[in-house]
Amino acid sequence: MTLKIGDTAPDFTLTTDRENKEITLSKLQNKPIVLYFYPKDNTPGCTRESCDFRDNFTAFQKHNVEIIGISKDNVKSHAKFRETYSLPFTLLADTNADVCEAYGVINKKSLFGKTFLGIQRSTFLIDKHGIIRAIWRKVKVAGHVEEVLDAIQTIK
């Protein structure tokens, strides 16, 4: 099943990069959430995307929006990534890819002639009631954060 706008966001509980605490999506539903899935910590595109969210963090805060990044990297990798780039938001470790599967972001990829399953860069805008209001798949990093900020205006 592919998620679409208007669907209820699949609930999950994952471990954070901060003190190994757990976060459950449904417990955050008193504010909009930007949930972005990215392939790997400390890679050029993922670093740029995360830093773009960081650089615009104040604009998201003005709209009371929570930003959460998810990849299959472990908590230790996330903590180092967050510290290295001073990321002010939470990163979640989906090491088994269960949440990635639920959101339909695991896809076939190829690199140097080898095919493998990996995370397709994707973002979901979820309203305070847990309803998906916007979806971006196959995200191109340049200009993406601005698109997300524009979409936030439509759910107010």
Which pLDDT tens digit goes with each residue over 68-104?
Answer: 999 999 999 999 999 999 999 999 999 999 999 999 9
- For the cut 90, the answer to whether the pLDDT of residue 107 exceeds it is no
Q: How deeply is 106 buried, as exposed, middle or buried, from its count of CB atoms within 10 A (0-12, 13-18, 19+)?
A: middle
Q: How many CA atoms lie within 13 A of 83 on its CB side?
A: 9
Domains, the chain: 13-154 (3.40.30.10)
Which is the catalytic residue, given 46, 68, 70, 93?
46
Rounded percentage of the chain residues whose pLDDT exceeds 70: 96
In this prediction the pTM is 0.93
The neighbour count for residue 25, using CB atoms within 10 Å, is: 20
CA distances from 2 to 13, 17, 22, 77, 127 (A): 20, 28, 26, 29, 19
Q: What is the pLDDT of residue 136?
A: 96
Average pLDDT in the 36-51 region? 94
The reply to whether 100 belongs to the active site is no
**Residue 1 pLDDT level (bands cut at 50, 70, 90):** low
Nearest to 151 by CA among 59, 14, 13, 49: 59
